[in-house]
Chains A and B, each alone.
Chain A
Amino acid sequence: MPAAIEVNAMNVVKMKNITKRFGSLVANDNIDFDLRKGEIHALLGENGAGKTTLMRILYGLYRADEGEICVNDNLVNISSPKDAIREGIGMVTQHFTLVPPLSVAENIVLGATDGFLLNPKKIRRLVTEASEKYGIAIKPEALVRNLSVGERQRVEILKALYRKAKVLIMDEPTAVLVPQEVETLFNSLNQLVSQELSVVFISHKLNEVMAICGRITVLRGGKLTGTVEHKDTSEKELAKMMVGRETFGVTRQQDKEPGEPILTIANLSFTDEQGLERLKDVSLEVRCGEVLSVAGVSGNGQSELVKILTGLKKPTSGRVVLNGRDITGSPPAVITAAGMGRTPEDRHAGVIGDLSVAENLALENLDEYKKRGMLDRKLVREHAAKLIEEYQIKATPEDHVRTLSGGNMQKVVMARALSRKPCCVLAAQPTRGLDVGATEYVRSKLLEQSDRGAGVLVVSEDLNEVMELSDRIAVMYEGRIMGIIPALEASEEKLGLMMAGVLEKDETKIL
């Protein structure tokens, strides 16, 4: 038997000194986490803070490199979701694992039936009983494919409970829901904890966390910031804990004469395929020689804004004008030709791993390298060699981009976007996942562009980055611009509150 560790009768789950590394990245650094019976415990943090990793370890999807897990004060070894389910742990992720053509009841009992034969009446009865017991309203005979997202989520929850889960991990459950569904979800969760179940609520939305959770554990950059009681804290304090306390050396805030507007975004709205309104009347103006950042917690419409500005999506309404040309809904080729240098949110969606560095660098303006339809390979290679030197990319023109590190891949993306001296630069999450050196490099290149007189629009979730780079900062929340403030007036506290949707620009003056 393993040595007994600290015993606390109230804890259903206790995770001690959990460390998980992915290569050189430490996703969880010596984290302690405990969950009491009958509580909703929030796991709060920015994207990439390590929340989901920690819970995936608990659910057996990852194995911790170090640390131990106790369930009901017994040291357990969880190496697969099967083990986790046996220990009474269930997880509901954003990506549902339901079979659309099957009924709700069939989905719930799937894999948890005994014997070979299915008795439709019996499973419907069992599922109805479970539904009544936990107060989660579902229709057992409905087909999953006809259900709304909120209803599907309820099925997922019931599915976990049907497997005798005493601990329910909810991974950003509200990200896919409309406001009314969020309310229903919160009611269900409250009812569950009144029946002595425990819930881990992973989120990065302060208001939700404050609305429903008893205790809140905050992670930042893979490290534990602290665990606080709901009654002892406030959204302001949580925002601070989440984004960090360090002050940033803001290096470049000389009073610059703002230039002429180069990119004008007017009343942009976008409704996605599911009918969710992702962008609501967004208006922004980027001027020559300035850096305007769009900050916000991920999933608040930034992706959609970037996709529209790069030409991958068409807005439902509104206009985008670049350098006097209307580029609303134009394809990528037209937008680049109009003078936009673009880097995508996900660099793997911007470069093609199976093609060489040289080919990737030439792809955006192929016409310049064509001689009677044939590629001028010498020109392509020379162009690549020049950019490789200029941007210090560690690769040869012939290397497949797949073999490059994240930083070098991003440099390829940047080199391609900036090589034609664009009048406006759109940099989406420009340093996500990069090491310190590459991050500094990318940021200096962006500043270089604004010094050159180009308008630079940065979309980033990294507050540090936003404050270091920008002249002005726009904050997005639920598809709207909460406000635009000059970087000099910004503090991470103020930004954090705006990002959480608590504070609008006008109120910031009071602070």
Chain B
Amino acid sequence: MDSRAGLATLWRWLLAGSILIGVVWWPEVSEAQRRQDRPNAEAAEAAIAQLRSPYCPGLMLEVCPSASAAALRDSIYNLAAEGQTTDDLVEWMLARHGEEWRGVPQRSGIGLLAWVMPPLGLLIGVGVLVGWIRASRARADEVVEEPEEPISETDRDKLAAALREWEATGGEEA
């Protein structure tokens, strides 16, 4: 590739990059906007994010649109305003409604099983795959390749034409 062609390519990429910057311009959301205007709201939000809603099958409490769920969220915000921690708020809700509404498994006891198994499975999979590829590579080194079918005249002509073109474009394209 000569220097002019290289500069042209670089220019094209800079232009594309500039367009991308314009397209994906994405200012940060102010945290204040995301939070409810209540004291200790972070603790309440963290607790609500860990709980499933008893009023919407399968939905988390934070997104359940039912009026009863809204009332429960309000209660949690009010308790948070009184100074309760996230763990206290979660336990308060579970004590009233039952352990089955915990939406995020605990990282201890039987709940730990939920967190450990997926990464463990992936790790085992990686180990098996790496071992299998290594063994396969070792077998490949032992195999003596048979000579392939000779190339046809048509293919030879097309290959020659393509190679000429490839060389003409500096070997970068085609």
A and B: interacting chains: no
